[in-house]
Structure formats: C-alpha cells, structure tokens
Amino acid sequence: MQVGFVMELTIRDVSVTYPNGVHALKGVSLRIPAGMYGLLGPNGAGKSTLMRILATLQPPDSGSVHLGGLDVLGRPDELRRTLGYLPQEFGVYPQLSAEKLLDHFAILKGIIARGPRKEMVDALLRQVNLWDVRKQRLGGFSGGMRQRFGVAVALLGNPTLLVVDEPTAGLDPAERVRFLNLLSEVGDSSVVVLSTHIVEDVSELCTRMAIIDRGEILLEAEPLRAIDELRGRIWRRVIDRGALADIERDHAVISSKRLAGRAVVHVHGEASPGAGFDPVEPDLEDVYFSTMTGRYGARRGSLAHG
C-alpha cells in the first residue's frame, strides 16, 4: 500500500492493563499531524507502552490506531513497510562497522538491489553525520553516535511514521543538540512521535505535544500557546531550603530547584503570593509542572489533572 504524503496519526480510546493490574494506558486518544509531536511524561507514565503499540510490537486491550486510512492494529505488516522505530535501548553487533550493519538492516527491510541499497546506506550515513566513521566498529561508538546510527536504521525506506522513545537520555549536551537537529529535519516530511521525560526536548522541537501521567493524557496543546496561557500566573522566590515546607503549605508550589545551597520555588497564582515573590515569564517546564500538579487551566475552571 502506498501511504499518501499528507498524513495524520489518529489514536482512539487505547487502553492497556498488565497482568499485575497496572493500568498502563487509560482510554488514550490523540490526533497527531505530520511534523514533530512530543509525548512528555515521567518514567512509568505509559509512554513506552504507547510507543510499542505504535510500532506494532504490542497490541492494546482496546482502542484503534490509524495512519491516514491505514488500520495500524488490523494491518500491522502494511504499517511496518512505512514505519521507522528507535526504541529506548537497542542492541548492535559491536564488531561490525556502521556501514556493514546498516547495509544488513537495509536487506532485512526489503531493499535487495545492491545499487539502490548502497545509495541509500551512503546517503543515510551522511545524513546522520557518520560518513567519516562508517568503517569503524560500532563497539567504539559514543552514546550519541550510537543514537544517530539508530536513527539511520529507523530511516531506512523513507518511513512515513517515525516513533522515537527517550532518544536523548544519557547524551552529552553537544550530542543531544546534534541529535535533536537531525530529528527536526526528519519531521519536515514524516509524522515523528517523540517520547521523552526531558522538557527541553519538546520545547525545542515540537509544534504539538501531550503530557501523560499514569496512563492518562492530562494536556494536549501547542507548546507556545500552553506557555502563553500561564503568562502572569507564575511567581518565583529564592528561599532557604529549611523554609520549603512552610512555602509548600501556604502556596501552590509547582516546582523547586536547589541553587547554591538555597531553593528556587515557582508558585502558581492569579495574583502575587506575597512579599519576596517576583513575577517570572513562564516556560514549558512551568506548563509541565502546573499540569502534573493539577493547576494548569485552573483559571478556566477545568483542571487538567484529576
């Protein structure tokens, strides 16, 4: 099946309960357009379960998933022809070179003709900036180089849907920037679903996002619009760490960070919480913590949590 280039991924009422009674997903529904889409949430929120469902590795207990007109759950083999998947952890053969292993994966993907296969392998190695080390063994690659190799594998066959699970965990800052820039380029022509617990990944890349916790979608929004909704409602104060419990008792604290032996707290409120608090321009981290504490959207009377 040839999937059209204008795509939308539609997830409706997807639920998963594991044998131990954990409700990993509870009626998740999302509409994901072409481009970069961020799925943001803490570890254990249900992100990886949803990623495995999208990658056709795990069926849900109920619900439906469609990519354009393709029934992902009913016709998984067809979806796999246009799917790229980069899991949180993936194995490589450390003794093989990047060039040889990518060529092997291309054959497994069904790209049999030697000429077109070599052209694709060479182009992908250049795209992920591994051309100069293509002859080196993968066992000597850094974490960031391995992640970029994983992207090259995921991009074999020009996928329409790319599913990427926690891709920047453990990368140093320079590798992280290179990796995110690469994903951004891919998002120009595909549906890219990026699962992460790192707020900055979504802030820098994604035009739309969802926040998930305990298997439920708490917020679905455009990051810039969500930030704008909090303007005028985030307040900052630097306190002694010993005073944190009192501040948390008296105010709607959404986050706190250590700073040179003290604590920086952010408080959500329609008006100034009092002396010592300064207004601060909100960012996506404030959106995330406001949503997780149930305070995002409170002004409209419809809490995003609970």
- CA-based torsion, 119, 174, 291, 234: positive or negative: negative
Cα(207)–Cα(3) distance, integer angstroms: 23
CA-nearest of 68, 70, 69, 50 to 60 is 50
Helix axes 173-186, 143-154, angle to 10 degrees: 10
- Domain 1-82+160-221 sits in CATH at 3.40.50.300
Cα(44)–Cα(106) distance, integer angstroms: 33
Helix axes 114-127, 98-108, angle to 10 degrees: 130
pLDDT classification of 7: cutoffs 50, 70, 90: confident
| Per-domain residue ranges of the chain | 1-82+160-221, 90-158, 227-300
pLDDT greater than 50 at residue 302: no
Count of Cβ atoms closer than 10 Å to residue 9 Cβ: 22
- Cβ atoms of residues 284 and 220 within 8 Å: no
Task: Give pTM, 2 decimals.
Answer: 0.87
pLDDT higher for 194 or 4? Answer: 194
Q: How many residues does the chain have?
A: 306
Task: Quote the pLDDT of residue 299.
Answer: 42
- pLDDT tens sequence across 214-224: 999 999 999 99
pLDDT classification of 251: cutoffs 50, 70, 90: very high
- pLDDT tens sequence across 135-159: 999 999 988 888 889 989 999 988 9
